[in-house]
Amino acid sequence: MVAELRVQRTTRKTTKKTIALVPTMGALHEGHASLIRLARRRADRVIVSIFVNPAQFAPNEDFRLYPRTFAADLAALAALNVDLVWAPAVETMYPGDFATKIVPEGPAQAGLEDAFRPHFFAGVATVVAKLLIQCAPDIAVFGEKDYQQLKVIARLARDLDLKSRIVGAPIVRERDGLARSSRNVYLSPRERAAAPALCRVLKECAAKIAAGQPINDVLAEGREAIADAGFALDYLEARHADTLAPAASTMDGPIRLLVAARIGNTRLIDNVGV
Ligand code: PAF
Ligand 1 atom 9, closest CA: 124
Is residue 197 within 8 Å of residue 231, measured between CB atoms? yes
Pocket test for ligand 1, best of 68, 142, 267 (most atoms within 8 A of CB): 142
Q: Which atom of ligand 1 is nearest to the CA of 53?
A: 10
Q: Which domain holds residue 108?
A: 2-169
Q: Which atom of ligand 1 is nearest to the CA of 124?
A: 9
Q: Which of 119, 144, 169 is the last residue of a domain?
A: 169
Q: Which of 169, 204, 223 is the last residue of a domain?
A: 169
In a domain, 159, yes or no: yes
Q: Do residues 63 and 131 share a domain? A: yes
Nearest 5 degrees, angle CA 125-CA 145-CA 188?
Answer: 110
In a domain, 176, yes or no: no
In a domain, 267, yes or no: yes
Query: What is the domain count for the chain?
Result: 2
Q: Do residues 152 and 213 share a domain? A: no
Please indicate whether residue 119 is annotated as part of the active site. no
Q: Which of 169, 192, 227 is the last residue of a domain?
A: 169
Q: How many Å lie between the centroid of ligand 1 and the Cα of residue 142? A: 8
Q: Do residues 29 and 67 share a domain? A: yes
pTM listed for this prediction = 0.94
Would you write out the chain's pLDDT as a tens digit for each of its 274 residues? 777 777 676 666 667 899 999 999 999 999 999 999 999 999 999 999 999 999 999 998 889 989 999 999 999 999 999 999 999 999 999 999 999 999 999 999 999 999 999 999 999 999 999 999 999 999 999 999 999 999 999 999 999 999 999 999 999 999 999 999 989 999 999 999 999 999 999 999 999 999 999 999 999 999 999 999 999 999 999 999 999 999 999 999 899 999 999 999 999 999 999 9
In a domain, 268, yes or no: yes
> What residues contact residue 110 under an 8 Å CB cut-off, 6+ apart?
148, 239, 244, 245
Q: Do residues 22 and 125 share a domain? A: yes
Q: Do residues 201 and 79 share a domain? A: no
Residues with CB under 6 A from ligand 1: 23-25, 53, 56, 124, 127-128, 146, 149
